[in-house]
Chains A and B, each alone.
Chain A
Amino acid sequence: MPRSEARAFIIIPFTLLAMGLVELSSISQFYFERQLAWAFFSVSVFALFALVPLKFWKALGIPLYLASLLFLALALAIGGPGPRRWLQFGSTRFQPSELAKLGYILVAARILSNRRKSQIALLLQLGFLALIPFLLTIAEPDLATSVTFLWIYVVLLFLFDISPFYLAFLLMPPLAVITSFSPILFLLLFVGALLYSRYIKAGLAYTVSLLTLILFLGFSTPLIWKKALKPYQRERVIAFLAPEKYRTGSGWQILQARIALGSGGLGGKGYGRGTQKGLSFLPAAHTDFIFSSFGEEFGFVGSFLVFILFSGLIYTILRSSFKMRDRFRRALGIGIGAYFTYHFLANIGTNLGFFPVAGVPLPFMTYGGSHLTVEAALLGLLIRALREESSSYRILE
């Protein structure tokens, strides 16, 4: 196993974890102490996954995946009013959707490792397995978390050479939904899809059906938006588009996050001196908005360091995974890379006001044991994969 990569997978997460703990201690001693306990637990989880052979985890993938679905359904069934995202165990709460992410990555990697499967079979099997947790989490409701499964699914297919014909059918529908609110963007998408079909030399039937699908989604989405969405769901999106109009609720959070970051400036206000989070104007300073809270106290210098560390981590994960010859290990690595990519982009994007309030944790930094444990497990798996890859490679040599 190359030294630099191992270093990246240990040093970067620990630095981020330490930064998160520092900020949490500035927010509240209570969160700090609990998170510190979780950090110790996560280190042992990391060690466990790094030490146990990969084939064990490969076998454990399916039961893990099924168990997480069961927990998700349980949370839905026994949860009270309001979001049903957690299962209570004594004084700790456990978020089954985090476990489902781990389960899905393991199961998907296992399916992808079978090189005899047809592309259409991969497409359908992986899609089906992503769809179940997707639906269960969207019902909680937790839109941003549910999208994680789709994201990992699409990234895996993309990097595992799924044919451009299928890919277009996979990517165009969500794009059509997003662009349906802007006639110009929708037109661009439509023309783009047409040119793409010409580029991949698609037949007439393919082109027509692709375009029909795009048109159908483009026109039905606004209808669904008006008729089928719950008011709070619409409000979240609207608040995101015009936060100044919604000084309370999600728009308030987005605005306060931006004020926190912006008022931090280059050097920040200093440890423990953030007024936005200190006087509790910034809600969820310890969870969704820990980046803003950190940026308020440590300024651009601090938040840029977060950017650098994450880009370094993600780049290293993707590069080392991509080089792996074993299909299971490679799929595992890419799935893990997709996980971190999505969480970084979605969480930071929310903090910077690009997305409506998401509810996706910032890996290693956000307060919470469930995601931290899963992230530790993912890194453990990755290190194990790298080690097994390099040793098998040596044997082959």
Chain B
Amino acid sequence: MGNTVRYKGFLYLFFALWGLLLLRLVKIQILDHEQYLKQAEKNYIKPLRVPPLRGKILDREGRVLADWKPIFRISVLGEKTTKEGLLELSRLLHVDIDPDTIIGRPGYIRIKDGASLEEVISVEEREDRFPWIVVSTIPTRRYLYDGAFFHLLGYTGEVSPSDLERDPNYRPGDIIGKSGVEKEYEEMLRGKPGYKFYSVDATGKIIETDPRPPILPVKGKDIVLTVDLGLQLYADSLFSDYRRGVAVALDPRNGDVLLFYSKPYADPNVLSMGISREEWKKLLERKDNPLLDRCIAGLYPPGSIFKLVTGAIALDLKLVRPHDRPVVCRGAYKMGNRLWRCWLPSGHGALDFYHAIEQSCDVYFYYLGQKIGLARFLKYVRNFGLQEKLGIDLPGEKGGFIPDMAWYEERYGKGRVPEGLVLNLAIGQGEILLTPLDLAFLTALISRDSTATPHILKANPEKLSWHRAPVEGSILEHIRRGMYLAVNGEEGTGVNAQIEGIEVAGKTGTAQNPHGKEHALFAAFAPYEDPQIAVVVIVENAGHGGSFAAPIAGKLIERYLKGKENAKK
């Protein structure tokens, strides 16, 4: 027999250590069980984010403008990937993959959307080389009419880092509206992503699908726009001979945007699938700027259309009476020692207010401009509010550019601003720049004395915000008569906008343009007695408004009003 004390000491030591291990075992297996169970599940259950169906975009009659199509999406389980595998995958899928941004990242990472069937098969054949891959079929945006609605609807694309920072609901690889309606109504359209679960082994290979019930994605809300599909496509066909131009139409009764057309445009179906950096750069550098939404961000000199504003200010200030013939046009107007030419070199003779608008006599409006004076003119123009953004529900709207005296003083020096500037401004040629939407809004305002803020989303009539013209209705009545004559009068400049059976009122504009031929402008509303549509057409570098813009405007009005009547029958 050995030493009993030491024998017992050793036994105690052993059982103390045994007890210590047992305590630890209890802690791990019983006390912390839940936590480790979660970790074990996290180990092998991998969630795959499933994009939701984006809400459909419908026109005012409920016709689909944008819905979905299925595409193949290829994702990889970042934490299991290897450099060699990713490089091979990059070759098979013809995409650039930077392995350093993927290796070791937890969860599934999108590698390619819209892979072709050949690519999918070539990847699946080599499954053993990249066990960490998953191919899923997901819905992606489909625009049914390609470019015609590009500037209105916009397009979709992968969230940017700034989006991710701004909104914690997004994850890398999610799709977000990038412009137009898609961007403006992102929150309504986007829906809620779901999750699919996969059991994977330690190499990332999928062992089982749905080890726990999937979280279904929630579809986004469909939205109904105010635009008219037929009118928009018709506008596209009317512009087929022209490279650049705009057509905007409003319903003056409620501010509904009926037509929102800007040319040139890009194909949103192509942009939404993602294009390479070079292609994107090419698009940005194109001279005709297809990414510019001319309707709300293109700034044009309003040309003679602005005579309507000049006339309204003069009547409001009682500087002239409508039936007066205060000036005789002999083809030019003299102020100081300078001659200002009328567009008609032979001259219009003595005209009253109505016929001055009908024939767009420059001399008459030079006279009004001089009577108003530069400072007063600039002050009263601002009352129309066109220098502000109108607040249409689209991103990227620009306000008109209407300089004030301070702006001129900075250019010419205090007290040295030439008074003659007002003559140019009075006929819409000077520094003032407006967007087509501004012009359409102005036309709508004139047509019914008041109108609502232009809007793209069909809105509850009670929620509209209304604008009143800054002059009396009786004054606008004089202007409307002038516009009626411009289309229907014997000498009217806008006779090309006449339509059988509908009384159209309008005003031509021809904006001088330092870069080439004049822009042709035309603003019109109809029917004359009960205006239901106000339309502005601009054809860039085409020539006279009456020759090029007026016929398009007339056809658009005809299509809209008669199309509605046909629908009623």
Query: What is A's interface to B at a CB cutoff of 8 Å?
Result: 155, 158-161, 256, 258-266, 275-276, 279-281, 295, 299-300, 303-304, 307, 311, 314-315, 318, 322-323, 325, 330, 334, 341, 345, 348-349, 352-354
In the complex, the answer to whether A155 meets B10 with C-beta atoms within 8 Å is yes
Which A-B residue pairs are the 9 nearest by beta carbons?
Answer: A262-B36, A263-B40, A279-B201, A280-B202, A265-B33, A300-B29, A263-B37, A352-B24, A263-B36
Compute how far the CA of A318 lies from the CA of B9 in the bound complex, rounded to whole angstroms. 12
* CB <8 Å contact, A264 and B29: yes
**Contact of B121 with A by CB under 8 A:** no
**Stretch from B15-23, B112-120, B297-305, B409-417 contacting the other chain:** B15-23
Among B15, B21, B28, B43, contact of A276 (Cβ-Cβ < 8 Å): B43
Interface size on B, residues (CB 8 A): 35
Give, as a whole number of angstroms, the nearest-CB distance from B451 to chain A: 64
Main secondary structure of the interface of B (DSSP, over half): helix
Contacts of B7 in A (CB 8 A): 159, 318, 322
Smallest Cβ distance from A340 to chain B, in angstroms?
10
A276-B40, A307-B22 given; A258·B28 CB < 8 A: yes
Alpha-carbon separation in the docked complex, A299 to B24 (Å): 14
A residues less than 8 Å from B41 (CB atoms): 263, 275
Q: CB-CB < 8 A to B15: which residues of A?
A: 311
What are 18 A-B contacts defined by CB distance under 8 Å? A161-B2, A256-B43, A261-B29, A262-B33, A262-B37, A265-B29, A265-B33, A266-B30, A275-B41, A279-B199, A279-B202, A279-B207, A281-B201, A303-B25, A314-B14, A318-B11, A345-B21, A353-B24
- Determine if B10 and A159 form an interchain contact, defined as CB atoms under 8 angstroms apart: yes
Say yes or no: is B3 at the interface (Cβ < 8 Å to chain A): yes
Given A261-B25, A263-B37, A295-B29, A341 and B201 contact (CB-CB distance below 8 Å)? no
A262 in contact with B32 (CB, 8 Å)? yes
Shortest Cβ distance from B31 into A: residue: A262
Residue B26 CB within 8 A of the other chain: yes
Interface check B465, CB cutoff 8 A: no
In the complex, the answer to whether B30 meets A300 with C-beta atoms within 8 Å is: yes
Tell me the nearest residue of chain A to B40, going by C-beta: A263
* B408: Cβ under 8 A from any A Cβ: no
Query: Which residues of A are found within 8 Å of B6, using beta-carbon distances?
Result: 158-159, 161
The one of B3, B26, B43 in contact with A281, judged by C-beta atoms closer than 8 angstroms, is B43
Q: How far is the CA of A261 from the CA of B24 in the complex (A)?
A: 11
Q: Is the CB of B32 within 8 A of A325?
A: no
Q: Which of A295, A330, A345 contacts B2 (CB 8 A)?
A: A330
Residues of B within 8 A of A311 (CB): 15, 18
**What is the CB-to-nearest-CB distance from A355 to chain B, in angstroms, rounded to a whole number?**
11
Residues of A within 8 A of B25 (CB): 261, 295, 300, 303-304, 307, 352
B65 on interface, CB distance cutoff 8 Å: no
For A334, the chain B residues whose CB sits under 8 A away are: 2
- Please, which residue of chain B has its CB at the minimum distance from the CB of A261? B28
Chain B residues with CB under 8 Å of A325's CB are 1
Residues of A within 8 A of B40 (CB): 259-260, 262-263, 275-276, 281
The 8 Å CB contact of A275, one of B14, B26, B44, is B44
Docked complex Cα distance between A107 and B101 (Å): 59
In the complex, the answer to whether B33 meets A341 with C-beta atoms within 8 Å is no
- Output the least CB separation between A350 and chain B (Å): 11
Inside 8 A of B207's CB, which chain A residues have their CB? 279
Given contacts A161-B2, A263-B37, A279-B44, A299 and B18 within 8 Å (CB-CB)? no
Interface residue? B39 (CB, 8 A):
yes
Question: Could you tell me the distance between the alpha carbons of A364 and B6 in the complex, rounded to whole angstroms?
Answer: 28
Answer whether residue B35 sits at the interface, using C-beta atoms and an 8 A cutoff: yes
In Å, the complex CA distance between A304 and B25 comes to: 8
A-contact bits for B188-209, CB 8 A (1 contact / 0 none): 0000000000011111000100
Chain B nearest Cβ from A256, distance in angstroms:
8
Cα–Cα distance between A40 and B159 once the two chains are bound (Å) = 64
* CA gap between A280 and B43 in the complex, in Å: 10
| Residue ID in chain B nearest A274 by CB atoms | B40
Assembly CA distance A279 to B40 (angstroms): 11
B14 touches A266 (CB 8 A): no
- Contact between chains at A158 and B10 (CB < 8 Å): yes
Expressed in whole angstroms, the Cα–Cα distance for A276 and B36 within the complex equals 11
Q: Flag if A345 contacts B17 (CB, 8 Å).
A: yes
List of A residues within 8 angstroms of B22 by Cβ = 304, 307
Contact check, A352 vs B44: say whether CB atoms are below 8 A apart: no
A300 surroundings in chain B (CB, below 8 A): 25-26, 29-30
Residues of B contacting A299 with CB < 8 Å?
Answer: 29
Which residue among A314, A318, A322 has the maximum number of chain B CB atoms within 10 Å of its CB?
A: A322
Chain B: minimal CB distance from A156 (Å):
11
A341: nearest chain-B partner, CB-CB: B14
Residue numbers in B under 8 Å from A352 (CB-CB): 21, 24-25, 28
CB-CB < 8 A to A349: which residues of B?
21
User: Which residues from B are CB-within-8-Å of A354?
Assistant: 21, 24
Whole-angstrom CA separation of A295 from B35 in the bound complex: 16
Q: Does the CB pair B3–A323 fall under 8 Å?
A: no
Q: Are A348 and B2 in contact (CB under 8 A)?
A: no
For the complex with contacts A159-B6, A314-B14, A341-B14, 13 further pairs of A-B residues with Cβ separation under 8 Å are A155-B10, A159-B3, A258-B28, A261-B36, A262-B28, A262-B40, A266-B30, A266-B33, A279-B202, A280-B202, A281-B43, A295-B29, A315-B11
- Closest beta carbon of chain B to A49's beta carbon, Å: 24
Distance between B11 CB and nearest chain A CB, rounded to angstroms: 6
User: Which residue on chain A has the smallest CB distance to residue B207?
Assistant: A279
Report A-chain residues with C-beta under 8 Å of the C-beta of B17. Answer: 345
Q: Which chain B positions have C-beta within 8 A of A303?
A: 25, 29
In the assembled complex, the Cα of A349 lies from the Cα of B14 at a distance in Å of: 13
B203 neighbours in A (Cβ, 8 Å): 280
| Residue contact A275 to B43, C-beta cutoff 8 Å | yes
Q: Which residues of A contact B32 (CB under 8 A)?
A: 262
Q: Shortest CB–CB separation between residue B30 and chain A, in angstroms?
A: 6
Least CB distance, B255 to chain A, in whole angstroms: 59
Instruction: Give Cα distance in the complex from A303 to B18, angstroms.
Output: 13
B46 to chain A, nearest CB (A): 11
CB distance from B38 to the nearest CB of A (A): 8
Which residue from chain B places its CB closest to the CB of A325 in the assembled complex? B1
Residue of B whose beta carbon sits closest to that of A276: B40
CB-CB nearest in chain A for B14? A341
Residue of A nearest to B23 (CB): A352
CB–CB A259/B39 < 8 A = yes
Q: Give B124 Cβ to nearest chain A Cβ, in Å.
A: 21
